[in-house]
């Protein structure tokens, strides 16, 4: 047993998770463990329940069966305080969802003052340092409508980071961005991963997945088809579907590059 293995501590444990809409299962019997400091990337075709899975982890929707633990706390248990759990799980959305009526700084501060009940001066200092972390301290006084998509998404990341979450969930954070703005968001995420933040990322950015992920999970039709290290999945996929999907996506990615 290596030392690294001994130190690995699960932050998020998902067992047998199933979510249904009407009679159809969006996903079923998902098992997933995310250890401290891990970056796990979930890939897969659209409509396979990737986003819904993240929302279940954040308790924004209710799973139908199965359990989720955050550290040692079962957050799917009855009587669990959802609002409290969400404070410890950062979430970044595809379409940013900044609070439109607040400046970048106030967006980051709001959770600190209202949820964590920090004093305004303290919250301000903390919020500014989070904006600094995503390289936007010079945009603190700008409203979302005055920022580019990439900048908005970085503010959204800062807003989530400010709560000092145990884990960050990213739901296709670059899918709504112009190609030239994707880089700055991925750069921030790469930096976070290096700093040891625990991250669960749904994305189609294969370059990011290959470079940053500790593990890649291929989800299709509501179940995990294959999971493994980037090298395993990209170069030695065990499953034919994984090979096919990665080939298609890489081809698409390559074409996009050519068009530039």
Partner 1 sequence: MDVAKFLQYIASGTAYTVGVTLISLPAGLILGTLLALLNVYSGRLSKWLTNLYSTVMRGIPPIVLLFILYFIVSGSINLSPFLAGSISLGIVSSAYQMEIVRGAILSVSGGQMMAARAIGMTKRQAIRNVILPQTLRLAIPPWSNEAAIVIKDSSLVYALGVPEILRRAQLISASTQQPFLAFAAAAVIYFILVFITSRLLDRLEKRLRIPANP
Binding site for partner 1 (CB under 8 A): 58, 60, 83-84, 86-91, 93, 95, 97-101, 110-111, 114-115, 143-146, 156, 159-160, 163
Q: What are the Cα distances from residue 254, in Å, to 79, 117, 193, 236, 243?
A: 49, 48, 25, 20, 16
Q: Which is nearer to partner 1, 88 or 210 (CB)?
A: 88
Residue 40 CA to residue 146 CA, distance in Å, equals 32
Q: Which is nearer to partner 1, 53 or 160 (CB)?
A: 160
Q: Tell the smallest beta-carbon distance from residue 153 to partner 1 (Å).
A: 12
Q: Tell the smallest beta-carbon distance from residue 171 to partner 1 (Å).
A: 10
Q: Which is nearer to partner 1, 66 or 90 (CB)?
A: 90
Q: Tell the smallest beta-carbon distance from residue 74 to partner 1 (Å).
A: 18
Buried b (16+ CB within 10 A) or exposed e, 82-109: eeebbebbbbbbbebebeeeebbbbbbb
Residue 165 burial (CB count, 10 A): 20
Q: Tell the smallest beta-carbon distance from residue 146 to partner 1 (Å).
A: 5
Q: Which is nearer to partner 1, 110 or 249 (CB)?
A: 110
Q: Which is nearer to partner 1, 18 or 61 (CB)?
A: 61
Q: Tell the smallest beta-carbon distance from residue 156 to partner 1 (Å).
A: 8
**Cβ partners under 8 Å of residue 205, min gap 6:** 174, 182, 186
**What is the helix (H) or strand (E) element at residue 154, kind and residue range?**
helix 149-161
């Amino acid at each position: 047993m290596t030392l690294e293995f001994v130190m690995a501590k699960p932050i998020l444990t998902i067992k047998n998770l199933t979510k249904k809409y009407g009679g159809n299962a969006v996903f079923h019997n998902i098992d997933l463990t995310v250890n401290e400091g891990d970056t796990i990337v979930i890939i897969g075709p659209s409509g396979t329940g990737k986003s819904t899975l993240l929302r279940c982890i954040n308790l924004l929707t209710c799973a139908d069966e199965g359990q989720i633990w955050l550290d040692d706390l079962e957050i799917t248990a009855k009587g669990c305080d959802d609002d409290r759990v969400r404070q410890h799980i950062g979430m970044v959305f595809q379409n940013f969802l900044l609070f439109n009526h607040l400046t970048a700084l106030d967006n980051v501060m709001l959770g600190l003052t209202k949820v964590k009940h920090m004093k305004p001066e303290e919250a301000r200092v903390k919020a500014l340092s989070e904006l600094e972390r995503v390289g936007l301290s010079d945009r603190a006084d700008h409203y979302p409508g005055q920022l580019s998509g990439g900048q908005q998404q970085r503010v959204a990341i800062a807003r989530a980071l400010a709560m000092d979450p145990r884990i960050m969930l990213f739901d296709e954070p670059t899918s709504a961005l112009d190609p030239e703005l994707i880089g700055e968001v991925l750069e921030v995420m790469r930096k976070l991963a290096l700093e040891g933040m625990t991250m669960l990322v749904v994305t189609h950015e294969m370059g990011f997945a290959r470079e940053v992920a500790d593990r890649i999970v291929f989800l299709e039709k509501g179940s995990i088809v294959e999971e493994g290290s980037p090298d395993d999945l990209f170069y030695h996929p065990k499953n034919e579907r994984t090979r096919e999907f990665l080939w298609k996506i890489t081809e698409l990615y390559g074409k996009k590059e050519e068009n530039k």
